[in-house]
Amino acid sequence: MGGNKKRKESTPSVATMFRAKEDGRPSLAHSQADSGSDSEGSEAEKTPATPLTKEDLRAMLREISADIKAYTAAALEKQITGLKKELEVLTSHAILPTIKAIFQSLLPNASDQELYIERAHRALRPPTYNPNTPRDIITKLLYFPVKEQLMKAARAHQPTYEDQQIHFYQDLAPTTLKKRRELKPLTTALIEAGWRYMWGHPFKLSVKKGEQLFTLHQVADMQDFADHLGITLRYPAQDPNQATKETASRRGGPRTLPTRPQPKRGSPPTQPEQDDMNT
């Protein structure tokens, strides 16, 4: 009796088992499945990873080094670009007082407001240009009449800076500058003759001889213009050997004159041709 009572208390009834299932308690099958999955996960965790070889480590190091170099190069390039911009700004601000002092020497009665400079910077030049050659400075004034007064005063007084003569030019189109360079033989001859000339807009060159004013409008008329003024064009000196080579290249290379066959011994001399007799 006592043993049966203890067995009844330890064994749950069917209703109790049914209520436990409804409450969401895991059944025996579920508990076995969960225990199986846990065992599989623990086995996977216990599986050792493939070790890295020296070649793998070297490849990773090379990749990291390449990334560091690329990042460093990009950062340095960006820093250099920023420094160049700052240098350009500082250079532009540094030349402003010098330019303004030159303008004030030409127009001493002009006020600071009239001589207001909107911007000024050095002109660009190719990388192969001689660094010792002076560079042009492009300046933009606020007032156009003041600019015209400065150009007129510069032609009259020939300003200097640190014992160096300063030349004032209009900021012209590349085609106009090319035409002016083509007139270099004429302008050189005029300077050597002591004659003053003036450039006109958009392209013309005027020379005053006595009370007469002569104007050139076309580069092709340069020789006739010089003959009319009685001056000789001054072309730049050229190496004679280089000139001979250029002439030969334009003619298709050096030519060899045909040689006349020599008469044999004992045979009468040949008569000269008509062309040779005329020469």
Query: C-alpha distances in angstroms, 128 versus 133, 178, 207?
Result: 12, 20, 36
CB atoms within 10 A of CB 103: 23
155 with 77, same domain?
yes
153 with 182, same domain?
no
Per-residue pLDDT of 219-235, as tens digits, reads 999 999 999 888 999 88
Q: Specify if 275 maps to a domain.
A: no
141 with 183, same domain?
no
131 with 237, same domain?
no
More confident residue, 226 or 262: 226
CB atoms within 10 A of CB 197: 15
Owning domain of residue 93:
56-171
- Does residue 240 surpass a pLDDT of 70? no
Phi, psi of 18 (to 5 degrees): -65, -40
Q: Specify if 185 maps to a domain.
A: yes
The residue out of 121, 148, 171 marking a domain boundary is 171
DSSP codes, 129-171: S-TTSPPPEEEEES-HHHHHHHHHHHHHH--EETTEE------
65 with 163, same domain?
yes
166 with 62, same domain?
yes
Domain count of the chain? Answer: 2
pLDDT of residue 13: 52
The whole-angstrom separation of Cα 123 and Cα 54 is 57
CB atoms within 10 A of CB 139: 20
The whole-angstrom separation of Cα 57 and Cα 63 is 10
Per-residue pLDDT of 20-46, as tens digits, reads 544 555 554 445 445 555 555 555 555
212 with 164, same domain?
no
pLDDT of residue 115: 92
Q: Specify if 144 maps to a domain.
A: yes
Task: Tell me the CATH number at 231.
Answer: 3.30.250.20
Q: Highest mean pLDDT: which of 1-15, 70-84, 88-102, 231-245?
A: 70-84
pLDDT of residue 136: 84
More confident residue, 242 or 279: 242
Q: What percent of the chain has pLDDT over 70?
A: 65
The residue type of 22 is E
More confident residue, 83 or 23: 83
153 with 73, same domain?
yes
Q: Specify if 44 maps to a domain.
A: no
| SS3 (DSSP) at 44 | helix
- Does residue 254 surpass a pLDDT of 50? no
Q: Specify if 117 maps to a domain.
A: yes
**Per-residue confidence at 111, pLDDT binned at 50, 70, 90?**
very high
Kind of pairing between the strands at 164-165 and 212-216: unpaired
pLDDT of residue 155: 84
Mean pLDDT of all residues in 14-23 = 50
Q: Specify if 39 maps to a domain.
A: no
Query: C-alpha distances in angstroms, 65 versus 62, 71, 75, 141?
Result: 5, 10, 15, 53
| SS3 (DSSP) at 207 | strand
Structure tokens, 159 = 């300003």
The residue out of 122, 151, 171 marking a domain boundary is 171
Per-residue pLDDT of 131-186, as tens digits, reads 777 788 889 999 989 999 999 999 888 888 888 888 888 878 888 888 989 999 99
